[in-house]
């Protein structure tokens, strides 16, 4: 490898080449090529069914490509937060501690780290509350605590504030901003363009499984875009 190509790949976390995914007769992603480097805050936008969730799952290794390939030149610890996070029939504390225990932590250390994680997201006082009785916003913050406790370097989030009330959205956004400010790489899908402006450094626009635009956040909202992406910004593609 030349010195230049070595420098170009330094810090690269994900590299996709003609990445495609089929589910039976449905093509969910087609010919996706991109590189994501450490420290980026990447937002995935596009209409429902455009491939955002499939791309996130592909980056997290939950979906195997039908075509093309994905490589991880700089392997990093990563965690994923789903749109509707699964809550165990256990306390908020044990929802976090069990994940750590399964990852190989001693139970005493797992509980200690879980308490710190709950305090980080403002749920320390609800540690013994059954997780399934928490509000939607509290469950999303609990899911963030569960992910943060594992000390990931990369966090993937699928519509992290969908269906939340305005106050809960602000709370979750504030936590995301804190995590990104700490240097964590964040890749998230969102229909909330205001949220994208506030949190992203780079935007990918997907349509029918293809990446049609890839631009810095300022360029995406103020620059020249492909027609489909421009229509999406105007609200004409939902």
94 Cβ contact list (under 8 Å, min separation 6): 88, 114
Quote the pLDDT of residue 3.
39
Closest CA to 204 of 28, 41, 64, 74: 41
CA distances (Å), origin 127, targets 10, 146, 161, 228:
40, 12, 22, 46
- Write the secondary structure of 152-194 as one string of H (helix), E (strand) and C (coil): CCEEEEECCCCCCCHHHHHHHHHHHHHHHHCCCEEEEECCCHH
Return the residue matching tokens 């605590």.
145
Entry pTM = 0.90
The domain spans of the chain are: 87-151
Quote the pLDDT of residue 119.
95
3-class state of residue 5 by DSSP? helix
- How far apart CA 196 and CA 67 sit, in angstroms, is 30
Nearest 5°: phi and psi at 2?
-75, 165
Q: How confident is the prediction along the chain (238 residues), in pLDDT tens digits per residue?
A: 333 443 345 599 999 999 999 999 999 999 999 999 999 999 999 999 999 999 999 999 999 999 999 999 988 999 999 988 899 999 999 999 999 999 999 999 999 999 999 999 999 999 999 999 999 999 999 999 999 999 999 999 999 998 888 988 898 899 899 999 999 999 999 999 999 999 999 999 999 999 999 999 999 999 889 898 998 988 877 6
Torsion on CA atoms 26, 28, 33, 37, rounded to nearest 10: -160
Quote the pLDDT of residue 152.
93
Burial class (CB in 10 A: 0-12, 13-18, 19+), 39: middle
| CB of 205 closer than 8 Å to CB of 225 | yes
């Amino acid at each position: 490898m030349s010195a230049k190509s070595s420098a170009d790949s330094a810090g690269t976390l994900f590299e996709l080449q003609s990445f495609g995914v089929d589910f039976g007769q449905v093509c969910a992603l087609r010919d996706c090529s991109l590189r994501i480097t450490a420290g980026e805050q990447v937002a995935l936008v596009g209409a429902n069914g455009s491939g955002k969730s499939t791309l996130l799952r592909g980056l997290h290794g939950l979906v195997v490509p039908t075509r093309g390939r994905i490589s991880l030149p700089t392997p990093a610890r990563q965690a994923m937060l789903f749109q509707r996070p699964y809550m165990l029939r256990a306390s908020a504390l044990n929802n976090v501690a069990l994940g750590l225990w399964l990852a190989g932590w001693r139970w005493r250390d797992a509980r200690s780290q879980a308490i710190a994680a709950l305090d980080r997201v403002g749920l320390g006082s609800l540690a013994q509350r059954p997780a399934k009785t928490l509000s939607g916003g509290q469950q999303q913050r609990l899911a963030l605590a569960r992910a943060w406790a594992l000390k990931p370097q990369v966090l993937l989030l699928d519509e992290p504030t969908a269906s939340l009330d305005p106050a809960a959205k602000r709370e979750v956004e504030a936590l995301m901003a804190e995590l990104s400010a700490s240097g964590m790489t964040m890749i998230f899908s969102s229909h909330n363009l205001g949220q994208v402006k506030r949190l992203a450094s780079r935007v990918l626009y997907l349509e029918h499984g293809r990446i049609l635009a890839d631009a810095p956040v300022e360029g995406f909202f103020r620059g020249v875009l492909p027609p489909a992406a421009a229509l999406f910004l105007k609200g004409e593609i939902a």
